Amino acid sequence: MWNRNSTLLFGGRLLSTTGDSLYQVAVIWYIYTLTENTFYTGVATAVVMIPKILNVLFGPIIERMNKSRILVHSQFIQFVLMLIIPLALYLGYESVYLVITVMFFVSLLENLEGTAEIALMPDVVAREHRGMFNSRIGAGLQLIDLSMKGIFATVILFFGIEQIYLFNALTYLLAAFLFSLIRAPFKAVSKTPLQATSYRKELKEGLHYFFTTKIVVICAPFLLANFCFGITQAVLPAYAANQGGGGHYAIMLMAITLGNLIGTMFVLRIMHYPLGRLLIMLPFFSSCLWMSSVFIPSPIISVIVLGLAFIPFGMMSILLITFLQVSIAEHLLARVSSTLDSFLVAALPLGALLGGLLPHLIGVEWTMFSSALGLIVISFYFAINKENRDLPTIEEISV
């Protein structure tokens, strides 16, 4: 499974995630402390998610380009963009609109990189090792994410937010260096230049493949789950502030990340079970734990239960990624995965905007409670339909 290219891809992804994890948590908390208004955290969360909706447009382009170069260029540009915020703070210019604008473009490049990485992975990892590779890289990313939440808690309490942005920029630069060392064969879908007619044709092929196979059946309920998760991301700073402030916000994020980490580490133990049954049980357990955590009076126990809710959540993420990589033809992988990204993420900005408004109507706690309901819907979706309920193991599924 491990060779020079897969190791570089793994290392570059870890470094890139280091930057992504820090800037996402730092920016949302910074905007909340600057405005003390969940509406602006909802807007900021929505702005980060909107570029993901555009992913469907990039699939045909990425398939014709050198994917390792996309990784290098996107990381370097993110490095430059991330330097803008600490420079502005150093010059005394503090603006929520500047931060949100930089977030938009960093997120756009992050999504290009993510699609290119998914499409590049089959070129550096054999099919039979992809489930294990996804589990290892997923666990590594969650471990990095967990570490970054701890660093955020320390830095934000004892230093300042400028240091976080400078560290982010450095991680993007180092990731660009590792990606530049990858020497994977360049496999373009076609050697002819991409023109408007061929672009539309290839875009339609990806859309048709997505909407006419079992992929859409399996992925459709996650649309509502993402809507509810968008609510969570917007309301979490205010929810944490009610519990104990910036330090508690970081602790909650660490618990969520630790739950995801445990889920990605142990997903291989359940991957041989039928997918239909897993997608009934995992979201059900996750939702029950998530909702109960909101009304547990002890802040410590509440955080622990919230973290436990994300163990099955982390397992679902790896199951979905592996399902795509083993069931989709490699020449369509970038187009279909970008279509899936756009399809699933479309609900996140709407959820984030609603999450910014709901606390003013029903309160922060009830908003947090309602955000877990989407997982219950996933469970019932797979339970009430026999075809969904009887989906076989990932390796046996034919789309």
Backbone phi and psi for residue 89, each to the nearest 5 degrees, phi listed first: -65, -40
Local confidence band at 163 (pLDDT 50, 70, 90 cut-offs): confident
Local confidence band at 381 (pLDDT 50, 70, 90 cut-offs): confident
pLDDT of residue 323: 76
Looking at 66-80, 135-149, 214-228, 295-309, which range is the least confident one? 135-149
pLDDT of residue 306: 92
pLDDT of residue 234: 86
The pLDDT of 327-331, averaged and rounded, is 68
pLDDT of residue 309: 93
- Contact between 172 and 76 under an 8 Å Cβ cutoff? The reply is yes
Higher-pLDDT residue of 140, 113: 113
**Mean pLDDT over the full length of the chain:** 78
pLDDT of residue 204: 78
Helices 161-180 and 67-90 pack at an angle, to 10 degrees, of 160
Q: Is the pTM of the predicted complex or chain greater than 0.85?
A: no
Higher-pLDDT residue of 389, 191: 389
Helices 161-180 and 4-35 pack at an angle, to 10 degrees, of 160
pLDDT of residue 218: 77
Looking at 58-67, 266-275, 301-310, 374-383, which range is the least confident one? 58-67
Q: Which of 229, 230, 239, 226 is nearest to 32 (CA)?
A: 239
Backbone phi and psi for residue 193, each to the nearest 5 degrees, phi listed first: -60, 150
pLDDT of residue 109: 86
Looking at 177-181, 341-345, 390-394, which range is the least confident one? 341-345
How much of the chain exceeds pLDDT 70, in percent? 78
Asked whether residue 126 carries a pLDDT value surpassing 90, the answer given is no
pLDDT of residue 138: 65
How much of the chain exceeds pLDDT 90, in percent? 7
Higher-pLDDT residue of 203, 300: 300
pLDDT of residue 291: 92
- Contact between 310 and 263 under an 8 Å Cβ cutoff? The reply is yes
Higher-pLDDT residue of 173, 147: 173
Give whichever of 30-44, 120-134, 256-270, 352-366 has the largest mean pLDDT: 352-366
pLDDT tens track for 189-225: 555 555 666 667 767 777 777 777 777 777 777 788 7
- Give the long-range contacts of residues 87-92, CB within 8 A, separation 24 or more: 89/161, 89/162, 89/165, 90/162
Amino acid 142 reads Q
